[in-house]
Chains A and B, each alone.
Chain A
């Protein structure tokens, strides 16, 4: 197994953990695949504790981390590196007590742009593991857009566990078929 973030879906799963550790109760994810403008954008915003200017400047330094279990933090540096390698850029903005927004832009046709990956699994597992988190997802392409929130999903499956096999398959299928539909 290689030590690389292979897909956008892996990056999303990874960056979300930062938001959760920052105490976020709302995370908004936006993925845009724009073949016409040859651009692909990943944007993740949260309402977590945010960072001051100094911390934010250090956030993409691999030898900076706020955690205590290990002394390196590679999540954001890897996303930045992947974006820059694919002729894109990486932007992070943050405000203390308001939240943080991470945006990675890739050149769509670039060979080094990470594939989308199984975003449906990432979203399902994030909803499953974080019951009180409100997750909003939006996918945009030249053909249209698709968005939903975890609250909408939960209100439609009320009374049955999300872990139930049929429900799991249905949620993953719902996300997957709607994304495929606009690709």
Chain B
């Protein structure tokens, strides 16, 4: 693949992609998408959360799972970083702690794809930080 060095190159790639892909059916109702939030405060970053975020983005794309991957602040579980909050459509949010690449793989394969709960959930009475 040729190097992308200018905004014009970026636009060219976009036009190539646009002609190839079908518009995602779910992109207009986010509640039908899997939402993943990676804790990205000082504690998360220091524990390697960026690599985990990168892994989720790349892996979900690869496996064609419709998901929104975003960052969130500190939820107060600094001891358990990196933490990842997963919201499956029509489900309560679940927070996983000590997420490394191996755990991330398990979250995708078992929880996101099959809906089965796995170990590593932080047991809490959950409230998002915005509330």
Residues of A within 8 A of B (CB): 1-5, 10, 13-14, 17, 21, 67, 69-70, 73-75, 78, 118, 121-122, 125-126, 128-129, 148, 152-153, 156-161, 163-168, 170-171, 173-174, 177-178, 181
Closest chain A residue, CB of each to CB of B71:
A129
When distances are taken between beta carbons in the complex, the residues of chain B under 8 Å from A122 are: 50
B-side residues, CB < 8 A to A, are 3-11, 13-14, 16-18, 21, 24, 27, 40-43, 45-48, 50, 53-54, 57-58, 61-62, 68-71, 73-76, 78, 129
- Given contact pairs A5-B45, A166-B16, A156 touches B50 in the complex (Cβ within 8 A): no
Give CA–CA (A69, B7) in the complex, Å: 40
Is the Cβ of B57 less than 8 Å from the Cβ of A168? yes
How many residue-residue contacts, CB under 8 A, span A and B?
118
Residue pair B50, A163 in contact (C-beta under 8 Å):
no
**Do most interface residues of chain A lie in helix, strand or loop, or is the interface mixed?**
helix
User: Are B46 and A177 interface neighbours, CB within 8 A?
Assistant: no
Contact assessment for A13 and B50 in the assembled complex, using a CB-CB cutoff below 8 Å: yes
Determine how close the nearest CB of chain A comes to the CB of B110; give it in whole angstroms.
23
Residues B76 and A69 in contact, CB atoms below 8 Å apart: yes
